[in-house]
Amino acid sequence: MQIHLKKGEKLYVNGAVIRADQRCSLEFLNNVTFLLENHVMQAEKADTPLKQIYFVVQTMLIDPDNAQITRELYWHLSNCMQSTLENIQLKKGLVDSDNCIKNQRYFDALKTLRGLFKIEEKLLSPKPADHGVTDIQREVA
């Protein structure tokens, strides 16, 4: 697998952070766990339940030494969210993410979760007549 980095761009590989001092290409000749900088979510951006789950999966990739502890947190958050949701797309996406986690395919789980962000955003957006009550709040109630 070949990765192209821009000057100053970061790449997370097997828990290490690599920064390119100039434009370069890297070729991985074996299996590695990596995460591109543009897929990394900062903690303060994990401001919704789904983004918090994404952040946890991301942590499994960035800090593989503590992945077991983080995996336990993932299962707790995923189970809690699935038990309160009625939205079929979000539930299916979380089940797909769960399957990726079971198979230690963390990058695929992140991709699945990123695809759900717009659905969650739409559910969390207050409707004008509801005075700020969101669909997720209605589902929990």
**pLDDT value at position 132?**
59
Phi, psi of 98 (to 5 degrees): -55, -45
Provide the percentage of residues in the chain whose pLDDT is more than 90: 57
Q: How many CB atoms lie within 10 A of CB 48?
A: 15
pLDDT score of 97 more than 80: yes
**pLDDT value at position 17?**
87
| Cα dihedral 73, 77, 82, 86 in deg (nearest 10) | -170
**pLDDT value at position 35?**
82
> Domains of the chain: which residue ranges?
2-38, 41-140
Scanning the chain, the segments in alpha helix (DSSP H) are: 49-62, 67-84, 88-102, 106-114, 117-124, 135-140
Q: How many CB atoms lie within 10 A of CB 104?
A: 13
Reference 17, options 32, 38, 1, 34; nearest CA is 34
pTM given for the model = 0.79
- Tell me the C-alpha to C-alpha distance, in Å, between residue 121 and each of 49, 73, 112, 135: 11, 23, 15, 10
- Tell me the C-alpha to C-alpha distance, in Å, between residue 139 and each of 46, 73, 84, 85: 21, 23, 7, 6
pLDDT, tens digit (0-9, with 9 covering 90-100), for 73-96: 999 999 999 999 889 999 999 999
pLDDT, tens digit (0-9, with 9 covering 90-100), for 31-64: 877 888 888 999 999 999 999 999 999 999 888 8
**pLDDT value at position 140?**
54
**pLDDT value at position 130?**
55
Tell me how far the alpha carbon of residue 124 is from its chain's centroid: 18
